[in-house]
Amino acid sequence: MDPSKKKANRGRQREEVPGVANWSELCPDLLRCVFKRLSFTSLNRAKSVCSSWHSTSRGCVPNQNQIPWLILFPPNEEAINNNSSCVLFVPEDEDKVYRSRDLGVEFAKSRCLTTCGSWLLLLNPLMHLYILNPLTGERIDLPDTQSFSLGCLQYDRAWFRIDNKTKDYLVVMLRSCVFTKKGDNKWHDLPLFEYYEDFVYNHKDQKLYLHYASDLVNIWDLSGDN
């Protein structure tokens, strides 16, 4: 028999051995079901297994990512010297800490207003707002804030939602009663709704659903200027 054919036959025999699986060829839907049940750090470890796992993991939010991180920023003198990586402590990982990549002096001097998954809404020393993922380095600059009262902006309350896959986002500044979303180049006025109980934002149809303590539900269509 031709030696090349013998080699091919041996290869097929190895593939057919019971109990041997090619984990990189698992069904993407099955992988997503698993990834959604992993903790924050376990998901990041799974991403590095192979290229197919990394591709499938995009858009998956870890099930236990509700535990807040502790972010230790570099001392001021280190930030001045451009050593602007920070240390991330995740409580569920007990004594383990993780060091981010160098995210620039601006990040080290910014203030975090709120978070969504692994994304941070940050206010820099020049009173500019931006969204940053410290794990991937992805950054989204928000429209200019010159129309804001600086004093109000400094102590504003905020929340935002972002889709990990499409990067569609909605940012609301509660005290200033304004919002902006992906594709906007300005901030829009929004009636005061500071006393809502819960909310859901549908990125696909750009509708904001607000639930109040009285069981009243308001639906805001944010797809236009009005």
Q: Which of 32 and 44 is assigned the larger pLDDT?
A: 32
Assign residue 127 a region (left: φ > 0; alpha: ψ between -120 and 50; beta: otherwise): left
From the number of C-beta atoms within 10 Å of its C-beta (0-12, 13-18, 19+), residue 11 rates as: exposed
Whole-number Cα distances in Å, 100 to 71, 89, 104, 136: 10, 11, 11, 9
CA angle 205–207–212, rounded 5-degree value:
155
List the structure tokens of 208: 């904001």
Mean pLDDT (whole number) for 48-63: 75
Q: Is the pLDDT of residue 198 over 90?
A: no
List the structure tokens of 200: 């859901």
Q: Which of 68 and 199 is assigned the larger pLDDT?
A: 199
Cβ atoms of residues 83 and 102 within 8 Å: yes
pLDDT-based confidence at residue 215 (cuts at 50, 70, 90): confident
pLDDT tens digits along 108-121 = 788 888 888 778 89
Mean pLDDT (whole number) for 128-146: 88
Q: Which of 184 and 13 is assigned the larger pLDDT?
A: 184
Amino acid (one-letter) located at 50: C
Q: Is the pLDDT of residue 221 over 80?
A: yes
Cβ atoms of residues 105 and 126 within 8 Å: no
pLDDT of residue 131: 94
Q: Is the pLDDT of residue 87 over 70?
A: yes
Q: Which H helix or E strand runs over 116?
A: strand 111-116
Cβ atoms of residues 149 and 140 within 8 Å: no
